[in-house]
Structure formats: structure tokens, C-alpha cells
Amino acid sequence: MKNKVPTILNLMGIYSSIMNYPIHILINFTYTIVFMTRVFIVTVIVNLNLIKSILTMSHVAQIADITANWIDDLSTSDFPQKLASGIKQLVESNDVTIILFRSSALPTLEYFDDPMKGGSNNIDLFVKGAFLIDPFYLVATQKQQRGFVHFKTIMPSGFKQTEYYRTWYANSGLKDECGYLITLPNDDFINISVGRTGELKNFSKKELALLEDITPLIEKICQQHWNQTESDEQSPNIRARMQHALDHFGASLLTQREKQVVHLILHGHTTKTVSEELNIVVETVKLHRKHAYAKLDINSQSELFYLFIDSLMSVEEYVEGDPLSNYM
């Protein structure tokens, strides 16, 4: 029978409520002496049997040490880098990316690995608009999915044959990817991507299980850090504007059916899955695509992606309608 296991900060939350102190005060008090920090965390986990079957005692000690380091850097600019470093100590990864999605601003790149050391090299383009059609973003915003996510479980059918995969995902060099979607106030959230590129193999079942087991810990520690800098509720909802722009992309130039086909292509659908979604034959999809491309003055799916992203560059001034109206 699988144990229901809170992790370290869950336990501290319980202690905090009992003592009627805010959790950050309890943490600061507890971690005055670095050595005692590690001893306290390990003792709490062991004595209260807060260990899932996947975790060995060496894992517990390692997690305790990593957690203490994270807490030391809470609310500092060093925290994202320390968070990524700690995750890498648990499982091998050469491509960790942490993106903050505020409703009032474009996504903020909190941390990413140096492309020269194996990290993704197209992050800049991603945060400027490609994120709107990324599978992680879509499950976070459309399905409200949170917690640990393995990319293979959310990858659309035929995804590797799409232009989006070739243009964005394949260019990043990622062989396998998983990560965390973490809720913040005001409809904000954090996406922590943990990937492997180059010669590294896919994550094993044990590695994925370990990362999933520490999800409550990752959630608590990230919420503690990023809740300190909440977004301004009075600021314009830039993400909503961008979504509105995507929804109306091509509306001034294309027929309703052509627009539907283009939007599904942008979301990573193949010709076959577009036909299934719209309940039309493949040849009809190809015809609509041909007409749409001619009207947009493009010749390929790759050009479609770049046209879409370029049209979003002035999203701060965007009000309504088709973003191509002022672009083309």
C-alpha cells in the first residue's frame, strides 16, 4: 500500500501552524546553525516515517542537505540557480530551465543552462511567443495541470512529425524532458524544466519516481520564494492579450475554416490529426492549408511559426483583433 507522504516543508508547515509562527520565521530559527539544519531535517523525516518507498536513507540525507541550501537562499537572486543545482544533484541533467509565468508580463527566464554546456539555445524566442503553443504551457493553462509532469505523457499524437517539434523542440537538443508546474497567486505559475541533451540517455523510471516524490517539497520551497514578489493585480494581463492575439491570428485574411486549420497546425497537429479534429478529409485539409499559406505569403510551416511570433512582438500595444492587421 502506497504511503501518503508529506515532505520536509509540509512537515514544517504543520509545526508552524502548531506554534502559530509563519513558516519562514520557523525556518530561519531552525536553520541558524548549518549542521543542526541537516540533523533536524533528517530526524524529522525519519522519526515521523515521512519517506516514500522509492527513497533510501542516502536519498533522505541528500535531500535534507539540498533543502537546507535552498532555504539559505530563499528570497535572494541566487535561489533559482541553487534550485537547479540541487535538482541536478538528485538526477543527472544538463538542461534545467526555470520560467516564471506572470499574468501581467511576458514570461521571465529565471534560470537556464549555458547553451555552450548543453542547454537550450532558443529560449529567447520561446519566451517571446512560442510558449503559447508549448505542450507544458497548454496543459498548465487549458487543463490547469500542476505538479510533476513527464513530457512523454502530454506529447500530442504525431508530435515528432510536426513543424513545431522540428522548429522548437528538436532545435533545443532535448532528448527527454520532465518538470514541475507550480501554482502562484494571481494566476501566475512557475515551470521548471529538467532535460537531457547530447549523449545523456532518457530518464529512468527510478529517476522519474524520485523527482515526482519530491514534488510537494519543490512546490513549497518555490512558493515560499516567488510569493515574496507577487505580480501587480492592477497591471494589464499580457498573457491574456497574447492568448487573444493567438485566437484571432489570421482572422482578417483567412476564412473561418482556413483559420481553424492554421491554428491547429500552430498547436502541433499533423495533417491527419487536423482532419480528425475538424472531421474533414486529409485532402481538404491540404487545400485549406495551401490557400491559407498563399494569403499569408508563406510557403512552409516553419515560416508560419516565425510569422506568428513576429506578429506578437508588439503585444504590449495590442488591443484586439488580428495581430497581423498591423503587421502585414
Domains of the chain plus CATH, in order, are 1-72 (no CATH), 92-234 (3.30.450.80), 238-325 (1.10.10.10)
Residue 124 has pLDDT above 90, yes or no: no
Q: Rounded CA gap, 284 and 275, in Å? A: 8
Task: Choose between 8 and 200: higher pLDDT.
Answer: 200
pTM of the model: 0.70
Q: How confident is the model at residue 186 (pLDDT cuts 50, 70, 90)?
A: confident
Q: How confident is the model at residue 194 (pLDDT cuts 50, 70, 90)?
A: very high
In the three-class reduction of DSSP (H, G, I as helix; E, B as strand; rest coil), residue 275 is classed as helix
DSSP class of residue 73 equals T
Burial class (CB in 10 A: 0-12, 13-18, 19+), 127: middle
> What is the share, in percent, of the chain residues with pLDDT greater than 70?
69
In the chain, the largest separation of any two C-alpha atoms, in whole Å, equals: 69
Over residues 34-70, the pLDDT tens digits come to: 445 555 555 554 443 434 444 555 677 778 788 888 8
Length of the chain, in residues: 328
Which residues, 6 or more positions from 81, have their beta carbon under 8 angstroms from its beta carbon? 111
Q: How confident is the model at residue 127 (pLDDT cuts 50, 70, 90)?
A: confident
For 21-43, give the DSSP string.
Answer: --HHHHHHHHTSSHHHHHHHHHH
Over residues 136-163, the pLDDT tens digits come to: 888 888 888 899 999 989 887 767 766 6
Q: Rounded CA gap, 67 and 64, in Å? A: 5
Q: Rounded CA gap, 97 and 94, in Å? A: 10
